[in-house]
């Protein structure tokens, strides 16, 4: 079954056919490193992480490139504010980026190039564009001439004339057309700069992606991704640069992810509702964030709220509870290891093949979970049960699905310990007191003094401690 991808360029789902069968070249726009990553970044990163995982699982050899924009106005501003070099700012936030990515289980790309390491290739493309008459040099700046590229606007669905009519862009007297954009910016005093045929300066924002994607993936790449906001002008300009300079199709499939709102409001610094990844991880397990991010289709807008996060949390806890239950029965949660498949993996693939429909994929995970629990409910001794192989094959699939989605990375026991201590930290309850009360209750139960036992249960419940009586003792958790 072929994978179908919604292509922003054609506005429809298309059968995915890479240029070279079996191989995929994929480029995703990474962050401008001038501040901490927020959950919007997390969404884009997680979405493309899942996509890459899935492409690889279906047998594609994926070369995944994700860049860092490490030179830019915002970085320079921040550096000036803090009285440090822009390089220091970039390095600080790149380090932080990796911390965040590791925390939320986003894998490294094959190459993670930085703009400042590719100044020569950038200059070469600009020279080529000037040579072809598609760019012009003006007083140390170089601009791309949008009117020289007849396809300008094809990605974002705009027409040059219409944009000019409604344009309220800054009046830059150096530009021939207000929509022309900078390929090279002349250095202002004290700004970081590189030598170029046009004097000291630095690259414009869009040109780095044209340069780096070509260097690592060639003239035409299979997939280019990023957030919806990048469609215009960033990706539109990348097309103009790359196709203008090399005369070949730049990207075959454009994939764009939707935005995150917070309590139905746009997430923005002015509204004060910006959430960084680190903020969210103070309250929620990283896989809760992942699960929340992929429980809707990647192109839809999603609303971040406590309710949605709590929903994702209970889902994750149920999955881990199943894993824990298996471990208690000495069943490997990594399945049989021989890739013997139940019905769930093919169903999951069917969902993912349709434009990476993770929402349906997760529902398949649920079916598998119910099935596994049902088998264990009905079994007296699962190790000798005739259904053991079925259970193992279900777990084989649960494990494979979780590898794609990037969840269930932790040992279940560790997971619940962490959840417990996180909850305890917020509740401020005394653990030894709880355990003492459980002892008392155990004694009461032994003496069949259920009134007293229930009283203790009630008391603990009132401070959000829930008890679970198991055959071999009582366990507790924080609600």
Which residues inside 234-253 make contact with RNA, applying CB under 7 A? 234
Site for RNA in 314-373 (CB under 7 A): 314-315, 318, 321, 354-355, 357, 359-360, 362-363, 366, 369-370, 373
Q: Any contact of residue 374 with RNA (CB under 7 A)?
A: yes
CB-nearer residue toward RNA: 75 or 217: 75
Least distance between RNA and beta carbon 179 (Å): 7
Site for RNA in 70-99 (CB under 7 A): 74
Cα angle 65, 69, 72; round to 5: 160
Q: Any contact of residue 467 with RNA (CB under 7 A)?
A: yes
CB-nearer residue toward RNA: 128 or 156: 156
CB-nearer residue toward RNA: 139 or 162: 162
Cα angle 35, 304, 68; round to 5: 30
CB-nearer residue toward RNA: 174 or 248: 174
**Which two tokens mark 435?**
């355990």
- Is-contact 33 70, C-beta < 8 A? yes
**Which two tokens mark 55?**
């492409």
- Is-contact 75 33, C-beta < 8 A? yes
Tell me how far apart the alpha carbons of residues 296 and 23 are, in angstroms, rounded to a whole number.
Answer: 28
Tell me how far apart the alpha carbons of residues 393 and 336 are, in angstroms, rounded to a whole number.
Answer: 6
Least distance between RNA and beta carbon 35 (Å): 8
Least distance between RNA and beta carbon 149 (Å): 17
Q: Any contact of residue 297 with RNA (CB under 7 A)?
A: yes
DSSP letter for each residue of 93-114: HHHHHHHHHHHTTPPPPSB--B
Site for RNA in 42-71 (CB under 7 A): 43-44
Q: Any contact of residue 230 with RNA (CB under 7 A)?
A: yes
CB-nearer residue toward RNA: 195 or 449: 449
Which of 229, 417, 430, 435 lies at the binding interface for RNA (CB under 7 A)?
Answer: 229
CA 121 to chain centre: 29
Least distance between RNA and beta carbon 352 (Å): 11
**Which two tokens mark 279?**
């903020």
Least distance between RNA and beta carbon 69 (Å): 7
Helix %, strand %, coil % for the chain, to 5?
A: 50, 15, 35
CA 292 to chain centre: 11
Site for RNA in 376-415 (CB under 7 A): 376-377
- Residues in the interface with RNA (CB under 7 A) total 77
* C-alpha to C-alpha distances, 372 to 54, 66, 326, 366, 391, nearest whole angstrom: 24, 38, 9, 10, 6
Site for RNA in 26-45 (CB under 7 A): 29, 31-32, 38, 40-41, 43-44
């Amino acid at each position: 079954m072929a994978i179908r991808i919604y292509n922003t360029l054609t506005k429809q789902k298309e059968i995915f056919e890479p240029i070279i069968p079996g191989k995929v070249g994929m480029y995703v726009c990474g962050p401008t490193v001038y501040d901490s990553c927020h959950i919007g970044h997390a969404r884009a990163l997680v979405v493309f992480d899942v996509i890459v995982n899935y492409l690889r699982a279906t047998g594609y050899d994926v070369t995944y490139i994700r860049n860092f924009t490490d030179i830019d106005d915002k970085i320079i501003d921040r550096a000036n504010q803090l009285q440090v070099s822009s390089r220091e700012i970039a390095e600080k936030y790149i380090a932080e980026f990796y911390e965040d990515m590791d925390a939320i289980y986003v894998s490294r790309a094959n190459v993670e190039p930085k703009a400042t390491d590719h100044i020569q290739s950038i200059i070469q493309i600009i020279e080529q564009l000037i040579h072809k008459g598609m760019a012009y040099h003006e007083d140390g700046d170089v601009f791309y001439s949008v009117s020289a590229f007849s396809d300008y606007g094809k990605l974002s669905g705009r027409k040059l004339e219409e944009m000019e009519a409604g344009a309220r862009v800054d009046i830059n007297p150096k530009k021939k057309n207000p929509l022309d954009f900078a390929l090279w910016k002349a250095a202002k005093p004290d700004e970081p700069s590189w030598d170029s045929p046009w004097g000291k300066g630095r690259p414009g924002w869009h040109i780095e992606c044209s340069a780096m994607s070509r260097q690592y993936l060639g003239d035409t790449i299979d997939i280019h991704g990023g957030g919806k906001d990048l469609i215009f002008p960033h990706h539109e300009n990348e097309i103009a640069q790359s196709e203008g300079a090399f005369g070949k199709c730049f990207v075959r499939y454009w994939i764009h992810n939707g935005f995150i709102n917070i309590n139905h409001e746009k997430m923005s610094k002015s509204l004060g509702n910006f959430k960084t990844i680190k903020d969210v991880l103070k309250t929620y397990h990283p896989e809760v964030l992942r699960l929340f991010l992929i429980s809707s289709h990647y192109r839809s807008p999603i609303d971040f709220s406590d309710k949605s996060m709590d929903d994702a949390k209970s889902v994750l806890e149920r999955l881990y509870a199943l894993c824990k239950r298996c471990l208690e029965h000495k069943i490997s949660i990594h399945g049989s290891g021989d890739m013997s498949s139940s019905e769930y993996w093919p169903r999951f693939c069917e969902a993912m093949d349709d434009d990476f429909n993770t929402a349906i994929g997760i529902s398949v995970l649920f079916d598998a979970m119910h099935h596994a629990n049902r088998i264990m409910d009905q079994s007296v001794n699962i190790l000798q049960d005739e259904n053991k192989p079925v259970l193992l094959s279900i777990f084989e699939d649960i494990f494979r699905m979780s590898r794609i989605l990037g969840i269930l990375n932790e040992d279940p026991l560790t997971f619940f310990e962490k959840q417990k201590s996180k909850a305890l930290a917020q509740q401020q309850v005394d653990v030894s007191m709880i355990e003492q009360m459980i002892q008392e209750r155990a004694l009461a139960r032994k003496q069949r003094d259920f009134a007293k036992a229930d009283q203790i249960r009630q008391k603990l419940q009132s401070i959000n401690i829930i008890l679970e009586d198991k055959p071999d003792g009582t366990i507790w958790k924080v609600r």
